[in-house]
Amino acid sequence: MDIESLPSSRRRTESLSSHVHKVGVPSPQNLLKDFKETVKETLFPDDPLRPFKDQPRSRKLILGLQAIFPIFEWGRDYSLAKFKGDLIAGLTIASLCIPQDIGYAKLANLAPQYGLYTSFVPPLIYAVLGSSRDIAIGPAAVVSLILGTMLQDEIDPVKNAADYRRLAFTATFFAGITQAALGLFRLGFLIDFLSHAAIVGFLSGTAITIALQQLKGFLGIKDFTRKTDIVSVMRSVWGSVHHGWNWQTIVIGTTFLGFLLLAKHIGKKNKRFFWIPAIAPLISVILSTFFVYIFRADKKGVQIVKHIKKGINQPSVHEIYFTGKYVMKGVKIGAVAGMIALTEALAIARTFASMKDYQIDGNKEMVALGAMNVVGSMTSCYLATGSFSRSAVNYMAGCQTTISNVVMSIVVLLTLELITPLFKYTPSTILSAIIISAVIGMIDIESMLLIWRIDKLDFVTCMGAFLGVVFDSVEIGLLIAVSLSLAKILLQVTRPRVVLLGKLPCKTTIYRNIDQYPDAMRVPGLLIVRVDSAIYFSNCNYVKERIGRWLSDEEEKFKARFLPRIQFLIIDLSPVIDIDTSGIHSLEDLYKSLRKKDVQLVLANPGQAVIDKFHASKLTELIGQDQIFLTVDDAVLKCSTKVAELELN
Amino acid sequence: MDIESLPSSRRRTESLSSHVHKVGVPSPQNLLKDFKETVKETLFPDDPLRPFKDQPRSRKLILGLQAIFPIFEWGRDYSLAKFKGDLIAGLTIASLCIPQDIGYAKLANLAPQYGLYTSFVPPLIYAVLGSSRDIAIGPAAVVSLILGTMLQDEIDPVKNAADYRRLAFTATFFAGITQAALGLFRLGFLIDFLSHAAIVGFLSGTAITIALQQLKGFLGIKDFTRKTDIVSVMRSVWGSVHHGWNWQTIVIGTTFLGFLLLAKHIGKKNKRFFWIPAIAPLISVILSTFFVYIFRADKKGVQIVKHIKKGINQPSVHEIYFTGKYVMKGVKIGAVAGMIALTEALAIARTFASMKDYQIDGNKEMVALGAMNVVGSMTSCYLATGSFSRSAVNYMAGCQTTISNVVMSIVVLLTLELITPLFKYTPSTILSAIIISAVIGMIDIESMLLIWRIDKLDFVTCMGAFLGVVFDSVEIGLLIAVSLSLAKILLQVTRPRVVLLGKLPCKTTIYRNIDQYPDAMRVPGLLIVRVDSAIYFSNCNYVKERIGRWLSDEEEKFKARFLPRIQFLIIDLSPVIDIDTSGIHSLEDLYKSLRKKDVQLVLANPGQAVIDKFHASKLTELIGQDQIFLTVDDAVLKCSTKVAELELN
């Protein structure tokens, strides 16, 4: 951090100052135009009407139809080869979804057939409206758990099963409405407020919670807590150790859990065997059901599914609460669960879209998911979304379009019509084992470690969400996740970095942070700082005081080394994206207090929004138009000439 | 926006590429050190222990004492000349505060003597602990109104006067605790979350609300609504037009209001007559009291003050609720009112400090204000803060130190002991007139217009707070103010600008936004964009998609003009202050999708935090260390050479 010698900087001054480019002041914008542009970038960043521009009317109609029903777009070049891929993928995910559905319905405290119903209607709707080619639609673990815990806070699922189910349909209906509304009003960016780190922590925590819940079925415990936190669950487990566990259940459970995990391991090791973990659950169900039936293990305390209603979905419009005290509860639960379901579905859609390199329109996707859940709520389905595990299998099995969902749906239909009675002797412990093996992959320690390496604050968010879910509840975990995500943004805007700049030695016009570039040289008589943020009400006092502190610190240092005193304070405004009225007032205050110390304030490279506001507030007149430069280098050249002149006098 | 010719850019390449400076990668920081620095900048940005460094022990003790009791600092060079200034200022603000206090106590639904009490004890405490030399401590209009409306939501001030008063002391106590705690835990930045625009709107709205409340006393209406919104108040006023108004009251009120406003006008026109508006209220009180007493106007329906308890403050520790159902209510009301009081006091302290150019330590000031209110709550005072109108008079009357507050306090003491009985016949309408003339200056149309000119979004915040207060309540106004202030920050981080850069014509190495600098030239074969924000989870999808949209837009344009296709996408990261894990993932996705289109991703000028995270996440290895440049110019030189080579082949 050496101080550059004066004469050289002076020499260059004369030769360069002749062609100084002025700071660009954009012509004042029309207010309405400005407003329209802001709204457009905020709500329509994807410019959805662009393809319609300059097209004949008939073409517009077709494009409009294709926009609403993507099936018209990809349907035209659908081929037998593609269908082959979809058929295989559809059959594979069907075999995976049937046992999962029955288990997930239990997570939502609903009878098993509702899980199957939810894998029948929503995938059909999605196939027509949705634009992701790889997502597998149906019940999902996290959403089932959230819906289940939130619903049981309102109605007891055992004592008031009918009311509980009605509230579940109501919540599903309003979840669909929420999702579609977010898409229609183009507010999809709201779900972006859950950061990646928060999602990783939240999902890992939820996976542990779900696995813990399975201990009930897995150990054959009869009295089990209604709470989901680890402390309550563990107390339930230990409390029942002497009289509540059933050894036959445990043997069946552990055997098949081992089998499932082994299948998973094989599938992971060799991608060619992806179908082994995909069909392992169904094989487990068949084998264990047969085993229980033969040995009548149900008489020895092994809990079984007992009864799944035969036949397809009944209409359930009349069961949705549109009036009464449960409406608002349904709205609230629906909004929360619907947003989580959206987050999950969009994350899946985006992941696979980027792998196959096609575009997903977030807002359109929300409308599709919303519509599918609204229809679902009227046909005895509960909240459906994309399932991570099934979507991955779908992708690996070579699905081409949403037709694989249709295939799955048809298989589920056949299951409902024909073979549900066969599930009677399926032991509950198998369903628990299937759920455990499905959610265990969601505990993403690798991502957590990566987050720790990249960003410590993100890791705090991740852990906050994780511990919130594990030690309290999914709602608290979610609240922590959102709060910490927002707090991080606010912290950055409240305490932005204000750094000192120096000139790089071999590049004679580049000024950089002297912390990052230790060989950057200071210029005598000047202090160059850069504010690394928009200047807003939340940080303007801090920025002003921080600059004041740099000035007094550096003045002391300069004095101690008998160097000329600081006469110019140059602020590099390059990263200052925006400034508000509070920020303008702060700069005015800074200017005035610097004047009292006989230091001139000089500004470099204000952006478009900033220079606009300088003019509007007449700050340019106060500071002086000639004290605002295009680059730090221009400012330094001008100022060091003056410093040199003053030194010579 | 012309495309520069190729050969010239090639020629420069060879000569310059030899001395390319590397991007600075700071040595990996110790985690603990990093954490300590973040905490320090967040909570201790002012480095409070700096003066203590390298000082002998005895000096440290003195500095410590001075830090806690600023009176030891300025007290040492206190002189008779300074006292003269303080004496005159103290007497002037005393004459202004006595009638205001009585009126403000009514705003808080308390008996008039509590207003006077609050101008006696708190100023004495502040004189010892506070560091602002110009603030005038005592009851203030906005805080009195907020306290009054929040308290009356809990307890009826007429039917349960004793309980109401106890809750008022409780709220004051917890307001003091909140204020002191914010200062001690150095969380003072929390009050910065109310933007300047929000404060202007909030205060203007509150001023109108307060003025409307005065219509009761001003028109002599007996049945008056408890609500504060303009609709309810106006309904009360019109509803009582035939039987509730008292013409004598109106005549007295309008006459003296005219007098007060005239006095204000004179004071504003000529700063030398600042004392005229300062003593006009007391003169109005004396004249009108005399008039009512002589003509016994109280018998004709003119409401009078009736009774002010003589004598100084009684201890009230035993009246504070420390247990029972009112504790939590006191905490809640105290926290809200205490934060508002802090905002007001700090705004005053900072304004006058910058006018006289001395420093205010926000956190220390909060402790002083908190301590003063805790002591106040134990001595029959309600919430005190700085009063804008009296502080301005204090300043103009030439106050030098907080001794002017002591002088005022002594005058209030004498008033309480000697002349309170004389206020018996003071008509309420005069107090209303005094309050109206005091708050009318808070309706700051000039600032609103300035905000409109500078920043439209700030204006929305301002109007939201204003209309919220006027049409609903101060709480709703406050909620709107804080929400809109935060929403503005979040919007900016959610939809940052992504702009295209071009090379400025006469400066051959400077790249700027082509919107702001229309003469900036594009470089063939390259697309240069700049992201104007930190890249966070909330915007990373948008940024990625926006860049993709620029790319396809520009590709079309290039194609239409038969120009070489875009082979390099250069992102200028200068304004990208920070990036989080979601942002890193987005850049990875962007890199991959560009690769599929055979476009190379090139990065320029990553900051310290950003390059750190690139390394931690191994993104540098993915993109290639040699694709990250110190400046856009370096990147352009390298890329255009390659473009030229490819064109030649």
Query: Rounded to whole angstroms, how far apart are CA atoms A117 and A380?
Result: 7
Distance from CA of B196 to the nearest CA of A (A): 5
Query: Rounded to whole angstroms, how far apart are CA atoms B528 and A38?
Result: 22
Task: Quick: pLDDT tens for A279-301.
Answer: 899 999 999 999 888 988 888 88
The pLDDT of residue B17 is: 41
Which of chain B's residues have a Cβ under 8 Å away from the Cβ of A350?
541
Query: Rounded to whole angstroms, how far apart are CA atoms A145 and A153?
Result: 12
| A607 with B532: Cβ contact below 8 A | yes
Query: Rounded to whole angstroms, how far apart are CA atoms A609 and A593?
Result: 25
Question: Domain check: are A443 and A546 in the same one?
Answer: no
Question: Domain check: are A159 and A117 in the same one?
Answer: yes
> Shortest CA distance to A455 belongs to which of B545, B619, B624, B541?
B619
Query: Rounded to whole angstroms, how far apart are CA atoms A554 and A565?
Result: 9
Between A60 and B110, name the one with better pLDDT.
Answer: B110
Residue A295 forms part of a structural domain: no
The pLDDT of residue B13 is: 39
CB pairs under 8 A between A and B: 239
> Shortest CA distance to A334 belongs to which of A382, A386, A387, A368?
A382
Residue of A nearest to B580 (CA): A455
Between CA A53 and CA A65, with CA A59 as vertex, the angle to 5 degrees is 100
DSSP state of B317: G
Q: Of the candidates A35, A454, A507, which has its C-beta nearest B584's C-beta?
A: A454
B565 touches chain A (CB under 8 A): no
Report the side by side order of strands in the sheet with B628-629: B511-513, B498-503, B526-531, B568-572, B600-604, B628-629
Residue B483 forms part of a structural domain: no
| Residue spans of chain B under pLDDT 70 | 1-22, 24-29, 507, 649
Residue B165 forms part of a structural domain: yes
Residue B241 forms part of a structural domain: yes
Beta bridge partners of A528: A570
The pLDDT of residue A217 is: 85
B616 touches chain A (CB under 8 A): yes
Q: Of the candidates A31, A532, A589, which has its C-beta nearest B354's C-beta?
A: A589
Between CA B640 and CA B646, with CA B644 as vertex, the angle to 5 degrees is 115
| B580 with A197: Cβ contact below 8 A | yes
- Whole-number percent of chain A with pLDDT over 90: 40
Lowest mean pLDDT among A96-105, A215-224, A351-360, B29-38: B29-38
Residue of A nearest to B47 (CA): A549
Distance from CA of A453 to the nearest CA of B (A): 6
Which of chain B's residues have a Cβ under 8 Å away from the Cβ of A458?
580-581
CB burial readout A606-640, b (16+ within 10 A) else e? bbbbbbbbbbbbebbeebeeebbbbbbbbbbbbbb
Question: Domain check: are A454 and A553 in the same one?
Answer: no
Task: Quick: pLDDT tens for B54-113.
Answer: 778 888 888 888 888 888 888 888 999 999 999 999 999 999 999 999 999 999 999 999
Beta bridge partners of A603: A571, A628
Boundaries of domain holding B555: 495-648
Residue of A nearest to B190 (CA): A538
Radius of gyration of chain B (CA): 32
Residue to substitute from A365, A455, A506, A637, interface B, most B β-carbons within 10 A? A455
| A510 with B21: Cβ contact below 8 A | yes
Helix, strand, coil percent content, chain B, rounded in steps of 5: 65, 5, 30
**What's phi and psi for B526, nearest 5 deg?**
-125, 155
Contact B552, B597 (CB under 8 A): no
The pLDDT of residue A226 is: 82
| B454 with A546: Cβ contact below 8 A | no
Q: What is the rounded average pLDDT of the residues A384-390?
A: 92
Question: Domain check: are A197 and A342 in the same one?
Answer: yes
3-state secondary structure of A222: coil
A 468-487: CB under 8 A from B? 485-486
| B541 with A362: Cβ contact below 8 A | yes
| B456 with A34: Cβ contact below 8 A | yes
Task: Quick: pLDDT tens for A345-377.
Answer: 998 998 888 778 787 888 889 999 999 999 999
The pLDDT of residue A382 is: 96
B493 touches chain A (CB under 8 A): yes
CA atoms within 13 A on the CB side of A62: 9
Residue A545 forms part of a structural domain: yes
> Shortest CA distance to B46 belongs to which of B361, B469, B495?
B361
A47 touches chain B (CB under 8 A): yes
Domain end: B421, B444, B467, which one? B444
Amino acid at B165: R
> Shortest CA distance to A9 belongs to which of A436, A641, A645, A448?
A641
| A496 with B577: Cβ contact below 8 A | yes
Which of chain A's residues have a Cβ under 8 Å away from the Cβ of B575?
574-575, 577
- Number of other residues whose CB lies within 10 A of the CB of residue B50: 11
| A45 with B545: Cβ contact below 8 A | yes
The encoded tokens of residue A44 equal 């329509």
Query: Rounded to whole angstroms, how far apart are CA atoms A173 and A179?
Result: 10
Query: Rounded to whole angstroms, how far apart are CA atoms B177 and B184?
Result: 10
Question: Domain check: are B318 and B175 in the same one?
Answer: yes
User: Which residue bears the tokens 């005091």?
Assistant: B438
Residue of A nearest to B492 (CA): A578
Q: Of the candidates B506, B545, B580, which has its C-beta nearest A19's C-beta?
A: B506
Question: Domain check: are A442 and A564 in the same one?
Answer: no
B 218-247: CB under 8 A from A? none
Question: Domain check: are A444 and A512 in the same one?
Answer: no
Question: Domain check: are B428 and B538 in the same one?
Answer: no
Residue of A nearest to B517 (CA): A24
Residue of B nearest to A632 (CA): B510
| A580 with B41: Cβ contact below 8 A | no
Contact B594, B624 (CB under 8 A): no
Lowest mean pLDDT among A4-13, A97-106, B197-206, B444-453: A4-13
Contact B171, B383 (CB under 8 A): yes
The pLDDT of residue A29 is: 62
Q: What is the rounded average pLDDT of the residues A553-570?
A: 85
| A631 with B507: Cβ contact below 8 A | yes
Residue B12 forms part of a structural domain: no
Question: Domain check: are A643 and A582 in the same one?
Answer: yes
Contact A291, A298 (CB under 8 A): no
The pLDDT of residue B122 is: 96
> Shortest CA distance to A375 belongs to which of A87, A1, A122, A59?
A122
Residue B8 forms part of a structural domain: no
Which of chain B's residues have a Cβ under 8 Å away from the Cβ of A451?
581
Between CA B614 and CA B198, with CA A45 as vertex, the angle to 5 degrees is 90
Residue to substitute from B536, B546, B555, interface A, most A β-carbons within 10 A? B536
> Shortest CA distance to B541 belongs to which of B586, B581, B603?
B586
Residue B65 forms part of a structural domain: no
The pLDDT of residue B469 is: 92
The pLDDT of residue A587 is: 92
B 313-332: CB under 8 A from A? none
Residue of A nearest to B43 (CA): A495
Question: Domain check: are A462 and A516 in the same one?
Answer: no
The pLDDT of residue B28 is: 61
Question: Domain check: are A376 and A405 in the same one?
Answer: yes
| A489 with B608: Cβ contact below 8 A | no
Question: Domain check: are B610 and B549 in the same one?
Answer: yes
Which of chain A's residues have a Cβ under 8 Å away from the Cβ of B534?
492
Distance from CA of B354 to the nearest CA of A (A): 7
Query: Rounded to whole angstroms, how far apart are CA atoms B208 and A381?
Result: 54
A121: confidence class by pLDDT, cuts 50, 70, 90: very high
Count: domains in chain A: 2
Domain end: A439, A454, A489, which one? A489
Q: What is the rounded average pLDDT of the residues A521-546?
A: 88
The pLDDT of residue B63 is: 82
Domain end: A454, A471, A489, which one? A489
Residue of A nearest to B510 (CA): A631
Distance from CA of A248 to the nearest CA of B (A): 46
A588 touches chain B (CB under 8 A): no
Task: Quick: pLDDT tens for A472-493.
Answer: 988 889 889 888 888 888 888 8
Q: Of the candidates B195, B497, B584, which has its C-beta nearest A577's C-beta?
A: B497
Domain CATH for A584: 3.30.750.24
